[in-house]
Amino acid sequence: MARKKGRPNFNQSEPEFLISCLDRHEDWAVVVCLVGGGQEINTGEAGIGEWLRALLKRFGEWELHLSPHLGGSEYLVTAELEEVLARPSTRKNAGLHLATSMRSFRAESLSKFVREVLDLEIDAARLTLQEFASRYPIVITRDVALAKQWLRNQARGSERFGIVVSSQAQRLKPHAIDVRVKTDPVRWFLDGKDDTRSSFYLEDVATEFQVQGLELDWSCVVWDGDLRFSDQAWSHHEFRGKRWNRINKAERQAYLKNAYRVLLTRARQGMVLVVPEGSDADPTRSPDFYDPTYNYFRSLGIPRLS
């Protein structure tokens, strides 16, 4: 609002402002919200929780129809959900929960698997992977070149493939991946195999900001040291100057986790994960940053590409 409308002191969230516009109607109005879980990846994004907070704060007379299945970790609305569900004007409707992802026609359970992986539900993730592994291949390697060849071998005809990485993946430069180089998402997604700027060339990479809401047929997710598996938990980091710094704010930790949620759910037909080996000669790419993450994925039953 400050940048585009000249309103620097605007004090409403986006959901509150949008509902207020419809609230001006004297008779009635309907707001239909399609809100994805775990899709908040940027400062100021608050997901479905902000819609619930707006209703509780200012629009108590509105009748609310929502799915009762919003207790998953990706929604982060436990307190607000309990308060909203206790309101007499709230109607629970299980049919409003879009539980099946339409992104992947081969693996309807991919989103469930990714949630379990990121929530470190190891046993559940193993079982879910077994359910769809035969129709949606997921493989892992430590070699970017090998991953690129796998993508080319899998794709048929005009099926699109490409490399996606976290916007915080600052230490993949030794693998010819530099997130600071600006990628044109239009050319990356639409141009053909003869254009070096397209995803097909496997030179330019896209981050979570460029691929959110879009799909590839086959993807390569290259994992950096920003999100590490360490001591049976995720460790969150950003690279500043010459070293990795730990991210301590819960909000920013959630953004980083959601960034990888976005990256892991872009492919319709299959994907390859790359967790580099690191280097003992480079303290910014220590094998300790990568080996536990690779071992974690292997423990889930993801086959090694060789």
Query: Distances in Å between the alpha carbon of 104 and those of 101, 122, 133?
Result: 7, 22, 13
pLDDT band at 183 (very low <50, low <70, confident <90, very high): very high
Compute the distance between CA of residue 53 and CA of residue 59 in angstroms, rounded to an integer.
9
233 has a pLDDT exceeding 60 = yes
Give the Cα-Cα-Cα angle 178, 179, 180 (nearest 5 degrees). 90
Say if CB 179 and CB 226 are below 8 A apart. no
Best CA proximity match to 302, nearest among 138, 127, 114, 112:
138
Among the residue ranges 16-25, 91-100, 170-179, the one predicted with the least confidence is 91-100
User: What's the pLDDT at 42?
Assistant: 63
User: What's the pLDDT at 212?
Assistant: 83
Please, how many CA atoms are within 13 Å of residue 126, restricted to the half-sphere of its CB? 7
Among the residue ranges 54-63, 133-142, 238-247, the one predicted with the least confidence is 54-63
Q: Which two tokens stand for residue 238?
A: 């950003």
Compute the distance between CA of residue 230 and CA of residue 287 in angstroms, rounded to an integer.
12
pLDDT band at 273 (very low <50, low <70, confident <90, very high): very high
Query: How many CB atoms neighbour CB 19 within 10 A?
Result: 20
Cross-strand pairs, 236: 227
> At how many degrees (to 10) do helices 78-85 and 47-58 cross?
40
pLDDT band at 73 (very low <50, low <70, confident <90, very high): low
pTM: 0.79
Residues 220-231 have a mean pLDDT of 96
Tell me the H-state helices in 12-65.
14-23, 47-58
Compute the distance between CA of residue 56 and CA of residue 189 in angstroms, rounded to an integer.
40
Compute the distance between CA of residue 293 and CA of residue 64 in angstroms, rounded to an integer.
42
Compute the distance between CA of residue 106 and CA of residue 132 in angstroms, rounded to an integer.
8
User: What's the pLDDT at 57?
Assistant: 84
4 has a pLDDT exceeding 70 = yes
Compute the distance between CA of residue 172 and CA of residue 181 in angstroms, rounded to an integer.
12
190 has a pLDDT exceeding 90 = yes
Best CA proximity match to 264, nearest among 69, 142, 45, 107:
107
Q: Classify residue 199 by its DSSP letter.
A: G
Give the Cα-Cα-Cα angle 212, 216, 218 (nearest 5 degrees). 130
**Most confident listed range (110-119, 207-216, 244-253, 294-303):** 294-303
Residue 180 CB partners (closer than 8 Å, separation 6+):
170
Give the residue with greater pLDDT, 68 vs 179. 179
Q: Which residue has the tokens 């430069």?
A: 173
pLDDT band at 111 (very low <50, low <70, confident <90, very high): confident
Give the Cα-Cα-Cα angle 254, 143, 123 (nearest 5 degrees). 50
219 has a pLDDT exceeding 90 = yes
Best CA proximity match to 294, nearest among 207, 198, 225, 201:
225
**Backbone phi and psi for residue 145, each to the nearest 5 degrees, phi listed first:** -60, -40
Give the residue with greater pLDDT, 61 vs 47. 61
pLDDT band at 107 (very low <50, low <70, confident <90, very high): low
pLDDT band at 14 (very low <50, low <70, confident <90, very high): confident
Compute the distance between CA of residue 40 and CA of residue 75 in angstroms, rounded to an integer.
10
Please report, for the chain, the start and end positions of each structural domain, with discontinuous segments joined by +.
Answer: 2-96, 110-299
Q: What is the mean pLDDT of the chain?
A: 89
Residues 157-182 have a mean pLDDT of 95
pLDDT band at 217 (very low <50, low <70, confident <90, very high): very high
User: What's the pLDDT at 168?
Assistant: 94
User: What's the pLDDT at 94?
Assistant: 85
152 has a pLDDT exceeding 90 = yes
Among the residue ranges 47-61, 153-167, 202-216, 279-293, the one predicted with the least confidence is 47-61
User: What's the pLDDT at 255?
Assistant: 86
pLDDT band at 37 (very low <50, low <70, confident <90, very high): low
**Given phi > 0 = left and psi -120 to 50 = alpha, else beta, which region is 29?**
beta
